[in-house]
């Protein structure tokens, strides 16, 4: 069975509408409607979303919003909020929104309010942050901690790492936080090269405390510490974010220094949990709470705002339009903020691990394209790398431009130029430049430029983009921004009939790696392998 939504009259009407409007250029849409920006922008929760440069009309939006209602996204929102096991392949509820819930109303899981546990762990994070920042927590030699190394991977790394960089302007003056994720020893070795064991604390983030990459790095870090300070130092220089207290204790960590989270917290949605401990240490607990408050405000907006004024809903519907009806295969995220430089990488996991699937909730192929390839870099760096392809490469590449009205690092003369480049790029992608315009430009140059250059200066334009304008890059707005994309991802799963909360594609490679490791180590025979894998293993033997 295909996605039931594709069988609706609205899906067929959107297909016909896409075919009928395919030849319409964005510059013509702007010329025909001087109020296009006012009509096709949303200002909510202090954010401004301008989607007037998307290849949509009011009729497109009417049909897309009909699709939203046909998919019963509101019903899926209610199931999520009620603690139903909407992650049906793993029989798990999805309650990461409880981690930032700001009201006294309960959040139920199997009939029990989870909020007392959430608040207990938050209090644990606060007391630990107070101990580190107040220099009450001392290492084995009695010295205060100056460097924190978070050891995790995937959701236990990308979220806090991205947010720590994003909030660099708010970092705590006495503590520097580092992140190690890659199994490649170079990641850990280069991080430790400039650190002192006596003033370094490690946060080992693994729900099961068995994740291969994380535990290999943790054991290597432990060996580094023990070589300098001895076995007894481990419990003063390691804490854990885990639920497997037996393994935590076996490692040598005092279980009183293990920070809990729960099965209803998916890895790529776990920034708001104890996985955010290194972020709280980097920017202070009060700023961590502000992050949670911003996310909670976006959750409330997503639940309560009508679809016509709903920020996550609008982003999700535009993705459906561009992917399923215009044929886009990629999506560029272009933050004009160096602080948000890791956001595209974070969104790659959030969106592609969630919705990079072709099997629907009924176990059958959905029958259409789903998540596009998400990629990007901060502006203006990207302008000197891949923007050439977006402008003249002949591919449809929808773009999200993200900027802040005010700078988080206010060096004179920088921010205005940054905004000018951001707005100019979205205009150029929309407008393009015709052959006649290129010829006129060359003729008016002083001295006149060679006319043979005209074809090279033609820009097709008509590239769809959205611009999201934040007041500033600070904890509250970062919480809003991340929750905005989380809710968009959830909505797309509902529209595409996907379970956005499992990741079986990640597991297969891990299974094969477990089978190959004994062969590479020389502990098992190389039997049953394809010739390529066998040849590569043989080539690595001494």
Give the tens place of pLDDT for each residue, 155-189: 999 999 999 999 999 999 999 999 999 999 999 99
DSSP secondary-structure letter at 157? T
User: Is residue 423 pLDDT above 90, yes or no?
Assistant: yes
Q: What is the pLDDT of residues 429-440, one digit of tens each?
A: 999 999 999 999
Tell me which of 219, 246, 384, 417 is the catalytic residue: 384
Please state the separation of Cα 148 from the chain's center in Å. Answer: 23
Four-residue CA torsion sign, 218, 280, 167, 350? positive
Residue with tokens 């302007």: 169
- The kind and range of the H/E element at 255 are none
Specify the domain boundaries for CATH 1.10.1390 within the chain.
Answer: 504-539
Number of H helices, E strands in the chain: 22, 13
pLDDT in tens, 462-500: 999 999 999 999 999 999 999 999 999 999 999 999 999
User: Which residue among the candidates 88, 246, 417, 510 is catalytic per the annotation?
Assistant: 510
Name the CATH architecture for the domain at 98-289.
3-Layer(aba) Sandwich (3.40)
CA distances from 306 to 65, 303, 309 (A): 10, 9, 6
C-alpha dist (Å) from residue 1 to 8, 159, 499: 14, 36, 16
CATH fold for the domain made of 504-539: Phosphoglucose isomerase, C-terminal domain (1.10.1390)
Query: Judging by beta carbons within 10 Å of its beta carbon (0-12, 13-18, 19+), is residue 488 exposed, middle or buried?
Result: buried
Please report, rounded to a whole number, the percentage of residues in the chain having pLDDT higher than 90. Answer: 97
pLDDT of residue 413: 96
- For residue 240, give the nearest of 208, 212, 198, 262 by alpha carbon: 208
- Tell me the β-bridge partners of 87: 92
- pLDDT given at position 506: 87
Task: Grade residue 1 by pLDDT with cuts at 50, 70 and 90.
Answer: low
> Is residue 240 a contact partner of residue 253, using CB atoms and an 8 Å limit?
yes
Q: What average pLDDT does range 39-49 have in this prediction?
A: 97
How far apart, in whole angstroms, are the C-alpha atoms of residue 82 and residue 86?
10
Q: Report the distance separating Cα 378 and Cα 400, nearest Å.
A: 11
- pTM comes to 0.96
H or E, element range at 280: helix 277-283
Tens digits of residue pLDDT in 369-398: 999 999 999 999 999 999 999 999 999 999
**Range list for CATH 3.40.50.10490 in the chain:** 4-70+305-383+391-409+472-496, 98-289
pLDDT tier at 312 (50, 70, 90 boundaries)? very high
Q: What is the CATH number of domain 4-70+305-383+391-409+472-496?
A: 3.40.50.10490
Residue at token pair 């790529």? 268
Question: CB–CB of 484/315 below 8 Å?
Answer: yes
Share of the chain above pLDDT 70, in %: 100
Q: Mean pLDDT over residues 69-97, rounded?
A: 95
Token pair of 9, please?
């009259």
pLDDT for the residue 2: 77
Average pLDDT, the chain: 96
DSSP assignment of 316-331, as one string?
HHHHHIIIIIS---EE
* Residue-wise pLDDT tens digits, 112-154: 999 999 999 999 999 999 999 999 999 999 999 999 999 999 9
- Convert the pLDDT of each residue in 13-35 to its tens digit: 999 999 999 999 999 999 999 99
414 is catalytic: no
Strands 147-151 and 112-113, bridge-based pairing: unpaired
- Which residues touch 73 (CB under 8 Å, ≥6 apart)? 313, 491, 494, 495
To which H or E segment does residue 39 belong? helix 36-39
Active-site residue identified among 17, 96, 207, 353: 353
Residue 112: strand, helix, or coil: strand
pLDDT per position as a tens digit, 286-311: 999 999 999 999 999 999 999 999 99
The answer to whether 510 is a known catalytic residue is yes
């Amino acid at each position: 069975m295909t996605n039931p939504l594709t069988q609706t009259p609205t899906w067929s009407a959107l297909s016909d509408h896409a075919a009928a409007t395919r030849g319409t250029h964005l510059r013509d849409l702007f010329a025909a409607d001087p109020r296009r920006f006012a009509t096709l922008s949303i200002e909510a929760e202090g954010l401004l979303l301008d989607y007037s440069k998307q290849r949509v009309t009011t009729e497109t939006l009417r049909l897309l919003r009909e699709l939203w209602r046909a998919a019963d996204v509101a019903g899926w929102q209610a199931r999520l909020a009620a603690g139903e096991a909407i992650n049906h392949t793993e029989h798990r509820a999805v309650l990461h929104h409880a981690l930032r819930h700001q009201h006294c109303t309960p959040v139920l899981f199997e009939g029990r309010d989870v909020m007392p546990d959430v608040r207990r762990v938050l209090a644990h994070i606060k007391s630990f942050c107070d101990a580190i920042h107040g220099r009450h927590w001392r290492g084995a030699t009695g010295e205060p901690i100056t460097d924190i190394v978070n050891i995790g991977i995937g959701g236990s790394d990308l979220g806090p790492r991205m947010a720590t960089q994003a909030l660099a302007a708010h970092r705590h003056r006495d503590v520097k936080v580092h992140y190690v994720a890659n199994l490649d020893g170079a990641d850990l070795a280069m991080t430790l090269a400039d650190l002192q064991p006596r003033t370094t604390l490690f946060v080992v983030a693994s729900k099961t405390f068995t994740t291969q990459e994380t535990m290999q790095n943790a054991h290597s870090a432990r060996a580094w510490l023990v070589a300098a300070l001895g076995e007894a130092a481990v419990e003063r220089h390691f804490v854990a974010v885990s639920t497997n207290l037996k393994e935590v204790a076996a490692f040598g960590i005092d279980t009183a220094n293990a920070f809990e989270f729960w099965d209803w917290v998916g890895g790529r949605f776990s920034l708001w949990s104890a996985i955010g401990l290194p972020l709280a240490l980097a920017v202070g607990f009060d700023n961590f709470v502000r992050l949670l408050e911003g996310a909670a405000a976006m959750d409330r907006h997503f639940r309560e705002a009508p679809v016509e004024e709903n920020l996550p809903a609008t982003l999700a519907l535009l993705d459906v339009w561009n992917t399923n009806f215009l044929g886009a295969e990629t999506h560029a995220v272009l933050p004009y903020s160096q602080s948000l430089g890791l956001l595209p990488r974070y969104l790659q996991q959030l969106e592609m691990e969630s919705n990079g699937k072709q099997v629907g909730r009924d176990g059958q192929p959905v029958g259409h394209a789903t998540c596009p390839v998400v990629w990007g870099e901060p502006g203006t760096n990207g302008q000197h790398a891949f923007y050439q392809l977006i402008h003249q490469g002949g591919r449809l590449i929808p773009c999200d431009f993200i900027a802040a009205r005010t700078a988080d690092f206010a060096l004179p003369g920088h921010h205005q130029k940054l905004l000018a480049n951001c707005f100019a790029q979205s205009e150029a992608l929309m407008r393009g430049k015709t052959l006649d315009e290129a010829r006129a430009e060359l003729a008016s140059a002083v001295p006149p430029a060679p006319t043979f250059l005209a074809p090279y200066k033609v820009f097709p334009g008509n590239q769809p983009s959205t611009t999201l304008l934040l007041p500033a890059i600070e904890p509250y707005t970062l919480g809003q921004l991340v929750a905005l994309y989380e809710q968009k991802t959830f909505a797309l799963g509902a529209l595409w009939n996907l379970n956005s909360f499992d990741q079986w594609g990640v597991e297969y490679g891990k299974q094969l790696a477990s089978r190959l490791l004994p062969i590479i180590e020389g502990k098992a025979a190389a039997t049953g392998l394809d010739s390529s894998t066998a040849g590569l293993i043989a080539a690595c033997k001494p």
